[in-house]
Copies of this chain bind each other. A is one copy, B any other.
């Protein structure tokens, strides 16, 4: 464990939503940390491999990282407006994925499931903006 890895881990604890490696690097620099961008990339990937952070591929192909509350397998409901993220588990979809995979003779099924929408706050803000 190095000073830099500990710093990335702490930064992730402070941040709530999914952030790109570059955003995390910026935040750390702003907070006084001395760390290189390459190290942030490497550390985040290592954390992701170990399952310590979750990765979300954004619509434009960037990888965003987030330390999640629960360690168990789960999915995400992300607000398109503010990025607020809610952790979701769906026992039904888990078994559905395996069942439908097996039905077609596939083994070693993995799945990618993410939900996107507009949260109540952002919807209210949009309505206020339209109504003034």
Contacts and interface: CB of A to CB of B under 8 A. Distances in A.
A77 B120 CA distance: 33
- Chain A interface main SS type: strand
Nearest to A101: B117
Interface residues of A, number: 33
State how many copies of this chain the complex holds: 2
A71 interface: no
Interface stretch (A3-11, A15-23, A37-45, A105-113): A105-113
Contacts of A88: 100
A90 B92 CA distance: 11
A108 B117 contact: yes
A114 interface: yes
Interface in A47-65: 57, 61, 63
Contacts of A123: 107
